Each structure stands twice: as C-alpha cells, then as structure tokens.
Amino acid sequence: MSQSCRLPHGGRVQRSAPVRFFFNDKPYDGLAGDTLASALIANGVHFVARSWKYHRPRGIVAAGVEEPNALVQLETGAYTIPNARATEIELYEGLRATSVNARPDIEHDRMAVARYFSRFIAAGFYYKTFMWPRAWWPKYEERIRDAAGLGTVPDTLDPDRYEKTHAHCDVLIVGAGPAGLAAAVAAGRTGARVILVDNQPEPGGSLLWSTDTLGGEPAGQWIRRVTDELATMPEVCVLPRTTAFGYQDHNLVTACERLTDHLPLQQRAGVRERLWKIRARRVVLATGAHERPLVFGNNDLPGVMLASAVCTYINHYGALPGRQAVVFTNNDSGYQAALDLKRNGAQVVVVDPRTRSGSGLSMRAEQAGIRIIQQAVIEHAVGGTRVSGVRLQGHGARLPAGTESLSCDLLVMAGGWNPVIHLYAQSGGKPRWCDQRACFVPDVQVQPQISVGAANGDFSLAQALSGGVRAGIEASAQCDFADVSGKAPAAWATHASTESPILPIWSIGSGKAATRGPKQFIDYQNDVSVSDIHLAVREGYRSIEHVKRYTAMGFGTDQGKLGNINGMAVLAGVLGQSISETGTTTFRPNYTPVSFGTIAGRELGDMFDPIRKTYLYEWHVAHGAVFEDVGNWKRARHYPRPGEDMDAAVARECLAVRHSVGLLDYSTLGKIDVRGPDSVTFLNRIYPNLWDKLKPGRCRYGLMLDENGMILDDGVNLRLAEQHFLVSTTTGGAARVMSWMERWLQTEWPDLKVYLTSITDQYATATVAGPNARKVLQKVCQDINFDKEAFPFMGFKEGTIDGVFVRILRVSFSGELSYEVYMPANLGQHVWNLLMAAGEEFGITPYGTEAMHVLRAEKGFIIVGQDTDGSMTPLDLGMGGMVSKAKDCLGKRSLSRSDTASPHRKQLVGLLPSDPTCVLPEGGQILNAPSTAAIAAMQGHVTSSYMSPILQRSIALAVIKDGLNRMEQEVTIPLPDGRFAQARICSPVFYDPEGARQNVD
C-alpha cells in the first residue's frame, strides 16, 4: 500500500529500508526509523482506536509517551503486549498490531452505540446504577469490564528473558535532549561517574529535527559531537531506550531499558528488558515538557493533533498528518506547526484567541502567507471518523465574515506546555503553579536533585543549554568533582526569537455549553469531559483527589499525562478558585507502565526463593527421596520404594527404627556456639530451666519462651566446657533464635561476656536410631566407649569415624536408643556412607521427616510450631516442671498472669479415635458432641495426627480446654465430609510410656 502522506524528503527515516507491517490485519508499508504511529500517519490512517467508555472514534493525538488514544494490542500469543502506545513502538518488519477496545473490529465496533446514550453514562454512572441488588455486582462487573476493557493480557507464559541490575553514579541525568546532553557533557568532563538515560532510540530529543544552530553548529552535528565525546569518557554510561519510571527514597531511580522490542520477533535474542536500580548522589531531571491539548467540543475526533506532534511527524518522520489544517493556538508554539505544514504544501489557517502580537514566529507565519484569525476560538469540531471541519466563535471580538465554519482534515492544538514534573514530584517535591508561564514547575527540592530545561519551565533552547551545563557542573561539584581544568563547556549561542505570552484557555463557553453541547474532552483515555467535572462539583466533590476518583480523570495507562492539568484548571474555574489552590493529584510511580517480567527479573521458579540444601541433598535425590519444604530447606520426607505410596514408605521406615535401626539427615537444625565467661548466666536468663548444674559432656533439653511466656523454640543443648555451650534450635527457628539471643545480648545485657556464632552450616548431623544403633556405631567408631554406663542417656562424646572428628550425642526424638552424630559437613557424606555400610547387616533404613514425625508423636514429643502456635505455655504442655523456681528468665513473669496461670487453658493431650483406621484431620476442631449448629462451643483442635505403624491404629495430639482434667472423656471432631469422628482423650504418650526402649542393651 502506498504511503500517500509520506513527504518526498526529510526526516530521520531510512527511505531505502521499507518495512512491511500489519495494522488491524491490513498490510501497510512504512520505513525503518518510523514508529507505528508515524507509519500509520504516512499511510493517512488517523482513526486507530475506540474510546474506553463511549467507544468514540479516536486518532493519534501525540507523538510520544503521553499518547492517550493510540493504544494497540501488539503481536499475539506469548509475545503479545496489551495497550502498547503506537507512538512509542519502533516499526520492525512483520509487526502486527490491532486496535484495543473494538470488537469485532474498529469500523464495526459493536459497542459504538454507547456514544449515543453517553448523556446517561456520565461520571459516577456505575456507582449509582449497579449498586443494587448488591449480590448482582459480580455479574455487572464482569459485563462492564468486558465492555470497557482495554487490551487483553497474554494467556501463555512470557518467553522473554528479563534482567535486573543495581547501578551507582555520582550524577544521574534523565533525558538526553539539549538540557540533558549539556548536563552530561559538563558532568562527564569533571571525571564524575555519570549515567544518562533517555527513553528514545537515540539521544538528542527535540534537537534531532531542529533547524536551530548551537554555537554556530547545526543541531544534528552538535548532537553527534557531544555524544561522541560522551562515548570516550570511561565513567559515562549512556542508556538509550531507557525510561526512568520511578523516583524512590534516597535518590534511588528505577529505569527500564528496552533491548529488543525494536527488532523483528525472529531476530530477538537475549535480554528483552533490564530493570536498572540506580542509586545516584545527584539527579538532574531533564525530562522535557508535554504539550497541552485545548478543550473544545469534539476535540477527540481523529485528525485532532497536538502541534508538537505535527512538527515531529513532519520533521522527524517525514509524514504529513494533513493537507488542510486549522491550527488552534493560544501561544506561539502553534505557529511552528503552521509553518511546517505550510512549507510542506498544506493549506493552513491559524485561530488564535490573542490579539496580533508581532512576535517572531507569528510574523514568520504571516510572511509565509498563512491566514491568521485573531481573537477567535474553536467552539467545536465536526466529523465522523476524521475531523472534517470546525466552528469558530469570537473571543473578545466578532469573527471576520465568512469564518464561522472552516473545513479541514487536520486540527492542530497548541494549548501551552506542561513540564514533565513526574519524577520531581515522585521525589517528594511539591510543584508550584507559575501564572506567567501557565504551568506547574518544580519548586523546593526534597532529595538531592535539580530540574533543568523544559522540565523546569525553561522552554527556550538557550535556557535548556545553560541550565544543563550549570546543573552538570554543580552536581559534580557536590560530589567533589570540581571543574579544575577549565574543561566545562561554555554555553552554546543560539538564535533568540521574541515570544508573546500565552493566553490560557481551559475550556470553551459556559458550564451550560459544556454540559449541553458537544463533549469537550479532558481525559481522552477515560472519556472524562468538562461536563463530568461540572457534575462532580454539583454532587459535592471539591478536592481534586476526590474529583479524580469520581470521574476517573487521570486513571488508565497514561495516568493523565495529557489531560490532568486541563482538568485541574477546569475544576478551579468551576469552584471559582485559583489553580494554585486547587493543586495537583499525586504523581506516583510508575511514570509509564512496567512489565511484570521486568519487575520479576530472573528470580523465577527454583530461583524465586533460595533453596537450602543439606550435605546429603544429592544422596537423597539419588535414593528416590520425596522432599518437603521446611523454611527454605529441602528435607527428605520419605524414600518410597517402587510400588510404595507415602503411607507404606513411612510405615516401613518407622518400623525399621522400632525394630532395628534407621538413619536420618538431621542437619537442618539450627546450631549456635555460645561461649564466654557469662554463658551460664545468659542461658539461665534465656531458658526457664537451670544450666548451672549441667556438667561438661552432658546435654539438656531446653524450652525457650518469649516475653509473654509463650513457647518460642526448643532444642537440646550441650555443655562443651565450663564456659562453652552448643545450643540447638528448630529448623525453621534457627535465624529467629539467633536474632532473639543477639538482641537481648546487645540491647539489654551488654555487660554479659558471651559470644554467639552460628555453626548450623558447619556441622552435618546424622541420627542413628533403633535398637541396633549402638552396634552400628561401635563398628565405625573405635575411640568412644558406647557402653550403657560409660555413655549414658543425655550424654555426648567426641571421637573419630575414619579419622573424621565427630561429636556424638545420645539423645532420642523417637523413644528408641538413638545417637546424633555431628561431623564437619565436607565429610558428612563420607561418614554417612560408612554408617550405611556398617548398618547393612541390620537392614539400616534411611528415614525421612515424616517417619520422624510419626515416631515422635507416638512418644508425645512436641514440635514447636505444629503442636504449639505462639499461644502455648510450658504449663499448657504439662512441662511446668521445667520452669525453675530458683531463678528468673525471659517470659517467667508472664506465666503468673491470671490467664496464663489458669488451670482451664487449652492443654496438650492425646486422642485415640474410636475408629482406629480414622486419621483425624490436623487442625480439626474439637466439640463436646456432634453439632450442626452454625455456632458450637470449640473445645480445642487437633495438632498432630498419624497412623501409627507400631500401634497399628490412628493416634493424635490435640490441645483441649481443661484437657488434663478430662482424661478418658469422649469428644467429637467434625470431618470435612460432614461426618463426625469420636475420640477419647488420653495421655499424649502412646508408646513405651515407661521409656524403657532408649535404655536397651
């Protein structure tokens, strides 16, 4: 298809490189260097979208990031991007895009009827209409979202790769237009570390198509020279196609670099986007300005376009947006567009509400023979899917005869400029309204940053350059990089032109006209018009933040970049107050939408959260282990043999421990080395039991309480020497206990001479449990006497296995004769292999955490965090005897509070289900009797529940109110299927209550 609106020459597009692309399934040709928007305009396509609510035809209105209308669904399937802005999409071979919010297609949009009853669906319509009946809201919402949706989210996994990185610099400059480039070169020459980010494919900003000269040099040549110089500076990093989207605390600026989106799909490889987290000592914001639209009737028709966009399409892309143009301008910027249009053969009429001023640009327009209608405004535009004409009205004067209506195919708006203050505002700054320039400008700096150029309301090129240079030098100096060698660039001389002041016009006509006449749009993307703001005020809204939320102004993917300031001004007018008094809504990150891929980076799947592995992980895998997550650890849960399910495997492993010997990887338990002259005092304060009398070579079980007397953690502690202990913690509690103990040492008891060192990772642990455990160890360890008397229960010994230092504890979490072998982890696998080999004659069986849980539950041993939940005291567990009366400790005082001391609290008991095959659900609530009432009195809940292989029946642990006084009573546990299970309260020790088994010969 021909590019009917492509100019014969000019622009930065590559005329020798045609690009075929598809828009709404129609093939078009563009040129390399085009955006999707510029290529569409070169093909005469303006009608590209349907609006969000009213489904009105919409066209391309801007040429950059602020575009509210030209949103497309870019590509399909896994690569699809919803709501991509056509003005930012760099054209590539084979590109496919479709309009969003139009079904089946933009010409035959089913919902287009909405605009005929738009009068009835003004702001607040949804809130008012679908309030009732309340239960129907989900249905309404589904339909509304369907009718009003934008793009479609991808339904397949994103195949692209995203990276994140941290970066640091002395001076970060955002924006590589004239101000940003000047700042970068000035800062770079001082030797400071500089990062320059810019959201365009190449640096230069508005200079890329400027006819200005800088220091006598054409703009293009100046850009090349400056960027070449920056490239030679080793400490300067220039990032094109990178949008700084967030300004966070402590001068952290987040930016997204797009690396492959400009390439054809099949050529893309490697990283698609990179998130930069840039910590800068100083930030220079050279983010430019966005032109404001003017607000008049039907100002949303396709073919209505910003003056700056017209200049960009003509000069940067060599595309002519129209041949018969009306330029509506309240400041001198519109004249530049008029001149550019005229120069390229278009007919142009300028409508300017001001009186004739004789300023530079307007005089040039006059000289070029452009007709200028002064003291007039556009009342409304007319047209269908493209603007076809305008109706004028006088502004302080009568219209010249015959100018009430003009026909046109392009309506250009120049309403003044809004500095891009988003990042300044995100940094915590409050923008200030400047009447003279009719815009919000940055005011007091909150973080170490400065705005320059148009972003600071300094719109002339000379101001941009001098401001940029000054900011670059000052920011560097503040980082101690002085311009010592006189290498700072002098300001570059530019051509000066006289300018006449802007005449702000925020909407046309009275409030009545706004309500009754053609809609005057403020926020294109959210279909918010002047009448909606009038309505909001009539309904009592005053604050700009409330009006925003009532009307949805400034919502959506563009966050009101184009329309918000006009909206604030209109609201100020309706309320009869100043714009300054009205203020702005809050500018929040992100400046532009950021993909989830970029936010997630590479921390996906197995790398989402660290997987902690023990020394034996690979062995577990090789032996068919099924793993369970405990904290970040992968622990072997059981080792099913072929044909075994989990129950069978666990039963086999349990019985092996009960009848012969099993081997368990116990390395994940936390281990803390406690050393120093005050170790005993410290442990006495941390634990409720006494540590003075524990002899070196002996172990003792300890419960740890928090300040409220609730159980925090538990473990077996060893006294290694007079002033040296080894404290063990639960797997999940290791880090918490270490912090807890350090906190008390450092903040409350700094006088205690105690050092804590984590040795969790240093030592691997293997538990040898079962009646044959001693025989296994005796085979591999010759320098320890394992005799019953020489090595009693709760003792430990140090020795060697094959020359490897080991510390062996005789403790038991299964009730069987059991030893825990501690060894340096590098040799853990070796010692494990020796234990397996030594146990072969006894059928030694590796067992996992599930069997461990069953074995301990048969003995009534608790697991902190399973049988306790942060509301259990030692008394509740029947362990009140562990609380020493001879001393104080953390949490002890709380145990005497009326509630914690009450004998009627929930207490740990055992439960024997009446049906021995019924394994009660863990977490199941306990009732006194079956009840189907909505509310029944809860007596407690099941904490642990298993099928016991050795008892050949189900068992459970539970906490029950007053449980210790309710032995032998029947209780009821409702089951998920609606039935009720009966169980009898009993002692939590189900097996070997006299403890004979760990004492076998």
Partner 1 sequence: MWTELDQETPLVGLGHPPGGFTHGQLGSVLLAELPFVELTNLRGEPGSPGFLAAVLDSIGSELPTTPNTVATSADCCAMWLAPNEWLLRSTGAQPTDLARRLDAALGRQFFAATDQSSGYSVIRLSGPHARAVLAKGSPLDLHPRAFGVGQCAQTLHFKTSVLLRRLDLAGQEAWEVIVRRSFADYAVRIMLDAMEEYLGPGVAPGSSSH
Where along the sequence are the contacts to partner 1 (CB under 8 A)? 161, 163-168, 193, 269-271, 277, 279, 602-603, 606-607, 609-615, 617-618, 621, 633, 668, 673, 675-677, 753, 755, 757, 759-764, 802-804, 824-830
**245 three-state secondary structure:** strand
Give me the least distance between CB of 257 and partner 1, in Å please: 13
Q: Beta strand 81-85 with 71-74: parallel, antiparallel or unpaired?
A: antiparallel
Identity of the residue, 557 or 849, whose beta carbon is nearer to partner 1 in the bound complex = 849
Q: Angle 178-189/219-231 helices, nearest 10 degrees?
A: 40
**Under a CB-based contact definition with an 8 Å cutoff, are residues 15 and 30 in contact?**
no
Identity of the residue, 382 or 825, whose beta carbon is nearer to partner 1 in the bound complex = 825
Identity of the residue, 92 or 617, whose beta carbon is nearer to partner 1 in the bound complex = 617
Give me the least distance between CB of 161 and partner 1, in Å please: 8
Would you state the structure tokens that stand for residue 810, as one six-digit string? 């005789």
| Full DSSP string of 700-713 | EEEEEE-TTS-EEE
Q: Which secondary-structure segment (H or E) carries 546?
A: helix 544-551
3-state secondary structure 719-761: EEECCEEEEEECCCCHHHHHHHHHHHHHHHCCCCCCEEEECCC
Q: How many residues does the chain have?
A: 1001
Give me the least distance between CB of 714 and partner 1, in Å please: 21
**Under a CB-based contact definition with an 8 Å cutoff, are residues 149 and 101 in contact?**
yes
Name the E strands within 376-469: 376-383, 387-394, 405-407, 410-414, 417-419, 432-434, 439-441, 449-451
Would you state the structure tokens that stand for residue 346, as one six-digit string? 């278009």
Identity of the residue, 29 or 163, whose beta carbon is nearer to partner 1 in the bound complex = 163
3-state secondary structure 114-174: HHHHHHHCCCCHHHHHCCCCHHHHHHHHHHHHHHHCCCCCCCCCCCCEEEEEEEEEEEEEE
Identity of the residue, 757 or 914, whose beta carbon is nearer to partner 1 in the bound complex = 757
Cβ count near 991 (within 10 Å): 17
Identity of the residue, 804 or 877, whose beta carbon is nearer to partner 1 in the bound complex = 804
Which among 621, 631, 688 is positioned nearest to 848, based on CA atoms? 621
Count of alpha carbons within 13 angstroms of residue 139, beta-carbon side:
7
Identity of the residue, 551 or 598, whose beta carbon is nearer to partner 1 in the bound complex = 598
Looking at residue 109, its amino acid is D
CA distance 697 to 761: 22
Q: Which secondary-structure segment (H or E) carries 630?
A: strand 626-630
Identity of the residue, 748 or 802, whose beta carbon is nearer to partner 1 in the bound complex = 802
Would you state the structure tokens that stand for residue 242, as one six-digit string? 């990178």
Residue 442 preceded by cis peptide, ω within 30: no
Identity of the residue, 161 or 638, whose beta carbon is nearer to partner 1 in the bound complex = 161
Would you state the structure tokens that stand for residue 77, as one six-digit string? 């399937």
Q: Beta strand 528-529 with 521-523: parallel, antiparallel or unpaired?
A: antiparallel
CA distance 306 to 413: 5
Identity of the residue, 609 or 977, whose beta carbon is nearer to partner 1 in the bound complex = 609
**Under a CB-based contact definition with an 8 Å cutoff, are residues 431 and 182 in contact?**
no
CA distance 748 to 743: 8
Would you state the structure tokens that stand for residue 620, as one six-digit string? 């577990």
Give me the least distance between CB of 620 and partner 1, in Å please: 10
Which among 775, 724, 751, 560 is positioned nearest to 568, based on CA atoms? 560
Q: What torsion do the CA atoms of 202, 206, 208, 212 make, to the nearest 10 degrees?
A: -150
Which among 649, 709, 656, 694 is positioned nearest to 842, based on CA atoms? 656
As to burial, measured by CB atoms within 10 angstroms (0-12 exposed, 13-18 middle, 19+ buried), residue 205 is buried
Identity of the residue, 385 or 762, whose beta carbon is nearer to partner 1 in the bound complex = 762
Identity of the residue, 753 or 984, whose beta carbon is nearer to partner 1 in the bound complex = 753
Q: What is the radius of gyration, based on Cα positions, of the chain?
A: 38
Give me the least distance between CB of 784 and partner 1, in Å please: 17
CA distance 453 to 184: 13
**Under a CB-based contact definition with an 8 Å cutoff, are residues 179 and 204 in contact?**
no
**First and final C-alpha spacing in the chain:** 95
Identity of the residue, 280 or 981, whose beta carbon is nearer to partner 1 in the bound complex = 280
Give me the least distance between CB of 667 and partner 1, in Å please: 8
Identity of the residue, 51 or 760, whose beta carbon is nearer to partner 1 in the bound complex = 760
Identity of the residue, 235 or 869, whose beta carbon is nearer to partner 1 in the bound complex = 235
Longest dimension (CA), the chain: 120
CA distance 621 to 41: 61
Identity of the residue, 729 or 944, whose beta carbon is nearer to partner 1 in the bound complex = 729
Identity of the residue, 707 or 802, whose beta carbon is nearer to partner 1 in the bound complex = 802
Give me the least distance between CB of 761 and partner 1, in Å please: 4
Residue 366 to residues 212, 360, 846: CA-CA distances in angstroms?
20, 10, 94
Identity of the residue, 603 or 841, whose beta carbon is nearer to partner 1 in the bound complex = 603
